[in-house]
Structure 1
């Protein structure tokens, strides 16, 4: 199995990157291949537009979905989009690793969704990308109580369903870590171990565990 980890956090010393590294360790242990997209560190541009295409006529009216479909059929996506789509083509499963900011995806990850999961490629009647498995691994700033935790879970499920459920991807699960900045070293280690065990179970659905 080939696993793509897409991380959307500006700080490599963050808990999000600690989760990314733990996921890579687990994936290696179950025999999965790995590729990475670290969107902030790559300088990935989140805003879709004419620059998404190498030869879009400056005088032509711009319709994003139709432009994506036409370029999927005839080629000519911008190089950064091509690189991300090639990673997706090779992947069997995708982990999206990100903080929940203002109740949604970070802007750079939302832009990755809009630019890379393009019409004709990832969705649409004649899409070329086979459906993938996806895991959402997410941090929040914290929760007030159990009801607040349930609201965060429901919000994240809706976010996953709106994009990946719509495209027909299999959502293997959601994993939330609340308030990692407030955890001490022992609690952080426990949270990472809990994530690793859950991830091991998720990935074992797609590939036998290594002996």
Structure 2
């Protein structure tokens, strides 16, 4: 369901996170489209490009979970990102699907920032009630047999294994297949077959539909956030 740009959201805040190493990537483009969509719905958008901000995904001693201290102060870097997550009413995370999972920089962001005492480990979760959308761009085609299991794996990791334990009111995975200009199909023996690359008007139409699908996922998240129980 698409929403008009006049939706009122009471000056809510959205955090848009992109986990791709190239600023000219399709992932980055979709992240900016998502940010524009949220801005049109009257959200104040905090745009977090993990690579552009030189986020270090490697776990450090300072950010190792303090199992005996839920109020442990983690590194300044992790704490600053915690505040950005805490300030957001809705979060949209955009990433390329690598091996049916998220890129290393995004996994490291989760490990260091969504830490014990902050994202989980409290009787009253600090992130309770928030909503999150995971937009995963996949090279697999829409008719690839791997797509249903890819969706299930991402939902298990991100919605059930992360957002659920963090008290989110809503977590959804928006899988976006057909991200590649040249269709790819992997056989049961691991062989890779390439189809004919799309060009010209067909390419333009393909990516317009791709963008529309991504924006529809964002619109649905906005609509859900407007529902008052």
| TM-score interval, normalised by the smaller of the two chains | 0.7 to 0.9
Q: How far has the Cα of 1:51 moved from its partner?
A: 4.3
Which residue does 1:66 correspond to in 2?
66
Which residue does 2:207 correspond to in 1?
188
Moved over 4 A (4+): none
Which residue does 1:148 correspond to in 2?
146
Indicate which of 32, 56, 59 corresponds to 1:21.
Answer: 32
Distance 2:88 2:209 in 1: 29
Which residue does 2:119 correspond to in 1?
122
Question: How many residues are aligned here?
Answer: 194
Which residue does 1:171 correspond to in 2?
170
CA RMSD of aligned residues (A): 2.1
User: Taking CA–CA contacts closer than 8 Å with sequence separation of 6 or more, which of the two structures ends up with the larger relative contact order?
Assistant: 1
- 1:49-128 superposed matches below 5 A: 49-52=60-63, 64-66=64-66, 70=69, 73=71, 75=73, 77-126=74-123
Q: Which runs of 5+ in 1 are unaligned?
A: 53-63
1:30 and 1:207 in contact (8 A); partners too: no
Q: How far has the Cα of 1:146 moved from its partner?
A: 4.5
Q: Greater helix percent: which structure?
A: 1
1:134 and 1:172 in contact (8 A); partners too: yes
Which residue does 1:162 correspond to in 2?
161
Q: How far has the Cα of 1:16 moved from its partner?
A: 0.7
Q: How far has the Cα of 1:198 moved from its partner?
A: 3.0
Q: What whole-Å deviation, never above 9, does each CA across 1:41-74 have from its counterpart, x for those lacking one?
A: 111111112243xxxxxxxxxxx2226x63x525
1:99 and 1:106 in contact (8 A); partners too: yes
Q: Which runs of 5+ in 2 are unaligned?
A: 1-11, 182-197
Distance 2:54 2:125 in 1: 27
TM-score by length of structure 1 reads: 0.83
Distance 1:117 1:204 in 2: 26
